[in-house]
Structure 1
């Protein structure tokens, strides 16, 4: 059997969890949380990072930080996970869904400006499969209209964008805020877990308060105030140091993990290239400004029927691919709230995109998967 995903353990996770327990502090912001924070700030240049219990929580913190109010509008792709939208809907926002690009599921930046109204508050680009959106264009639009940009970088750890100025920037470091995921299906995992990256200094102090249930507890522990109390809205967004201990073992091995995943990605691409040349399916497209962090490997079938038949054939061979998102503008919850625009590229990816098994230990079994796809099509 080849499962869709298999969480990878480096071997140090349980050692560090025991160390966290032995330290006597297993609640949030312990020794391993601090190690993880320092790693991300130093390696990727994020101004400030805060681990969270999930990427969803990081997005919800972002919505609070940019002061989303009922009636505000937020532009984002329809082809994304529900958490991207929920974080802002929970604050009363109206979601204005944009279409994907024709070549990949990322938001079509050329359509964003036409969707802006006096109620628009933010743009939320989603770096699908860890591949960068056109951030120069998005930031230019945001700056022109004085909008916030929250990068949904759930899949984008260790991936980069090179702008027109030639500077290579980590995804998550370009917008005002960014949210990352360490769910077990991601490159770097903690079971569940996430992170808020803060690139605009004005949000740092309040982010710590929101994350600590609306209290200035972090300032108290740094000795900046003599007592702490309730000073703002917030929730319990910080994870246990046990989660951070697991994550730290992963971060110590990030280069090895990324190298192996890129090898697997290239094996898939090389094996299936002939099918793309024959126009039987489409392989992932990486724009010239983006890098590939090998978060996933997907194919785009010609139709939903072709995809359904391929899934059935692979499952009969005990190989488990999965389709991904459904267009949110057509979801039962939001279809009545959508403005009626057709988003054909989003719908095409919803009907035709298929994610192939992908995990660290897959190795040469990519050839088995590829061979069965070739034979099936």
Structure 2
């Protein structure tokens, strides 16, 4: 019997009406002879609402308590969907991350999947046609509930696809991957296919379609991902190995990362122990930093880097600790910058991309403050007020 892994995002299950429509779709696939593992997110803005309620109680919630609370959103969705399916005479069973055997390691709110007990699914499929798994969650070695962080439901779905050795279908409110955000550049083209490497770069640089770690799992286990619009006949995008793609463009897409902050540290003299302490603290808090630059001169040390704005609370805690040992440390956190990036696997073999980007920004009088490159991307930090203008111009320059 063919087995398929499907995932439906929060907007796709944001109402009971939409959940019923998805149930009808799943019933048709079961009648065609499929066994389905369906991963779902919390309904609509449920997770945001839970976080807002917590913020009215405290600004420093215990992470273990918060993980228990946040996972209730997905559990609500799996229950509703399974109730509807069973009412339609489709044998269905809802599973929390714990019940699905999704073992994790790491912080309670930013855990990583270490193992999935696949034997359980084989046993359940002897009785059920649809297994509905709560995305975003798992459990650790202490049997405590954990969450997988931002985009965790995608990670759950692709990890399950790897465990079952089959492709993963992810359904959301957009019809695939576009060359850039259509809300910013309406002429953006939908991509028929994109490589794992390009998708990882686009995700890391702010595209917001899939989180990087989920694509990395797909790449490691060679799991094709289909990204499409929920209950739509519109063609979506395949994310797959570079070797399966026939054509490589110099630039595939332009990404904007608006959810970033720019951090600057100043210290009166060059002190490697300060930098060592800073990066040890960042590592312990599992904070990823990006676009690092360092200046050492007569005025001392200046260290700058960018990072996600979701980690700002932990950052203030780190700097408070550092100032106990380094009272002369000065730091500044700014949120009026945006990272604009061009991405394309063809950059490996084609010249002139960096030159085109530089000229485009300079001719438009758009200043940039930091630049970083990889084999398949070039990123610039620009003022937020110039970010969408930069994206428009770069899309036009590279005919995206």
User: TM-score band (shorter)?
Assistant: under 0.3
**Which of 1 and 2 has higher RCO (CA within 8 Å, sep 6+)?**
1
TM-score in terms of structure 1 length = 0.28
- As a proportion of its length, which structure holds more strand? 2
TM-score in terms of structure 2 length = 0.26
